[in-house]
Amino acid sequence: MEWTREMRYRKLSDVPEEEYLKLLDETDRAPWRQHFHIQPPTGLLNDPNGFVYYKGEYHLFYQWFPLGAVHGVKYWYHLTSHDLVTFKAHGAALAPDTTFDSHGVYSGSAIVVDEQLHVVYTGNHRTADWERIPYQLVAVLTSQDFVKREQPIIKGPHTGYTEHFRDPKVWFDNGSYFAVIGAQRLDQTGTIVVYRSPDFKDWEFVSELKTDYTDFGYMWECPDYFELDGHDVILFCPQGVEADGEQYKNIHQSGYLLGTLDKETFQMTHGDFIELDHGFDFYAPQTTLAEDGRRLLIGWMGLPDTAYPTDAYNWANCLTIPRELTVEDGRLRQRPLKEWQKRRGTVETAEGYAMKHNIKLHPYEGNCYELLVDIIENESTEFYIELRVSKKESTLLSYNQRERRFTLDRSESGQLAGDEDTRRSVVLEHDLRHIQVFMDESSIEIFLNHGERVMTARIFPAGDARGIRTSTESGQVYFKFTKYQLL
């Protein structure tokens, strides 16, 4: 189906109830619906937004186009959770219903100001000539709804920047509120700008956030800033960075700089840009502080400008499971939230040697589970763990011991997502001892050595692809498998 501009900008309020209910029902019955990931009830999900802890619960939103698998006019879809394991859906909290956000309630963040939950986001406005004007807007949660403030806090891009000026992430520090905003300079390079406010009402431009990456992609989306374990961390998503060996292979990147941020000059002293994820489908993550002070991250398990097999069924994308961040050995580590152990149901274990020929772990199989693999002894040149195996399909994880190279190969995973490029590899700093996999109906998240590296990907296998098997190129490995059904 051809999505015309008119269709992309059709609002939910203009859709007759029966038409929407039909879409809801069709989506519910569509293939590859997830069991334990946050996914849209209809249409397309992208960035997580407004992730915050407020008065005993977590609020989380996502970018949502309700009417199909395209990036049409965006809403904020609202969820809440007491435990970060199960989420309650509340539907659209912010709709594109004012002049300032007429063409999309774009990404942003949340903060508690004077005990009230405030969300800050970019209103995407288009003029009659289709010129884009970005406004930074605020809405406040009252007992029932979010009430939008009448006037933007920042009107249009700051001088020296283009219309690509969006995704405010706000925080409070030393008596002031700050916001980082993703921006594009007039010379078409990406950057981040910083604003400050004494009262969350009047905002002033402070400066660019200065890094050594002065020419690194044409736009930086979804910036985030936080302090963690004595370090300053800047996350952002540069667009237009070219692939370089095993790095930057996705269409757009998502990564971070770790170092020290001077809060007067906004000069960041930092190491190299490091990718957060080494899989295929990860973008626009957002972090927040947990009630107990842990730094949590949720990402979009998808990418802009990418087609997925579910598009044919009018829905697309999901969020990652929540992860806890720490800094270890000068890098961020991501571990699945320990709260998720609550989801564990029946456990099955298997242990023994994997050798050159295939060993099928039977009846050890499934399509939704958490799998822990302990690598107790590894004398193989390369070992293979195949998941979601059927006669025709298999999702292949392999590890080359000499190179410490771990590879995810989805060429036989079922229907292809994205382009033909079906392998991603990452070289580990330590020998691989532990693999933790979260397998859902149409995704896989792989945590290597307790979050030393992470690989996130959508896969689109057939329903009968449920087997698990292991083998090696040569030599043997002693594995211990622990598999939990996830409730």
- Active site amino acids: 47
Determine the Cα–Cα distance for residues 487 and 483; give it in Å rounded to an integer: 13
Q: Which is nearer to ligand FRU, 78 or 166 (CB)?
A: 166
The vertex-486 CA angle with 480 and 487, nearest 5°, equals 150
Q: Which is nearer to ligand FRU, 63 or 407 (CB)?
A: 63
Task: Examine residue 222 and tell whether it contacts ligand FRU (CB under 6 A).
Answer: yes
Scan residues 297-326 and list those touching ligand FRU (CB under 6 A): 304
Cβ pair 167, 181 in contact under 8 A: yes
Cis peptide before 363 (omega within 30 of 0): yes
Q: Which is nearer to ligand FRU, 15 or 251 (CB)?
A: 251
Of the candidate residues 39, 63, 253, 442, the single one contacting ligand FRU (CB under 6 A)? 63
Q: Is 161 helix (H, G, I), strand (E, B) or coil?
A: strand
286: closest CA among 83, 53, 60, 38? 60
Show the tokens assigned to 290.
Answer: 């947990």
Q: Which is nearer to ligand FRU, 47 or 208 (CB)?
A: 47
Q: Which is nearer to ligand FRU, 221 or 412 (CB)?
A: 221
Task: Examine residue 109 and tell whether it contacts ligand FRU (CB under 6 A).
Answer: no
Cβ pair 295, 287 in contact under 8 A: yes
Binding track over 341-360 against ligand FRU, x by CB under 6 A:
--------------------
Alpha carbon of residue 171 to chain centroid: 20
Binding track over 66-95 against ligand FRU, x by CB under 6 A:
--------x---------------------
Residue 297 C-beta: closest distance to ligand FRU, Å? 16
Q: Which is nearer to ligand FRU, 221 or 452 (CB)?
A: 221
| Strand blocks (E) in 229-368 | 231-239, 255-261, 268-270, 274-275, 283-289, 295-301, 315-316, 318-319, 323-328, 331-336, 344-354, 359-365
Task: Examine residue 397 and tell whether it contacts ligand FRU (CB under 6 A).
Answer: no
Sign of the Cα torsion 26, 102, 77, 367 reads positive
In angstroms, the Cα distances linking 84 to 57, 88, 322, 339 are 9, 10, 7, 7
Q: Is 147 helix (H, G, I), strand (E, B) or coil?
A: strand
Binding track over 239-278 against ligand FRU, x by CB under 6 A:
----------------------------------------
Residue 252 C-beta: closest distance to ligand FRU, Å? 8
Task: Examine residue 46 and tell whether it contacts ligand FRU (CB under 6 A).
Answer: yes
Question: How many residues interact with ligand FRU (rule CB under 6 A)?
Answer: 13
Residue 74 C-beta: closest distance to ligand FRU, Å? 5
Residue 49 C-beta: closest distance to ligand FRU, Å? 8
* Residue 461: how many other CB atoms lie within 10 Å: 25
Cβ pair 34, 269 in contact under 8 A: no
Residue 38 C-beta: closest distance to ligand FRU, Å? 16
Show the tokens assigned to 441.
Answer: 């109906």
Q: Which is nearer to ligand FRU, 167 or 386 (CB)?
A: 167
Residues in CB range of 382: below 8 A, 6 or more apart: 398, 399, 400, 401, 472, 473, 474
Binding track over 166-185 against ligand FRU, x by CB under 6 A:
xx------------------
Task: Examine residue 107 and tell whether it contacts ligand FRU (CB under 6 A).
Answer: yes
Summarize as ranges the residues that interact with ligand FRU (CB under 6 A). 46-47, 63, 74, 106-107, 122, 166-167, 221-222, 284, 304
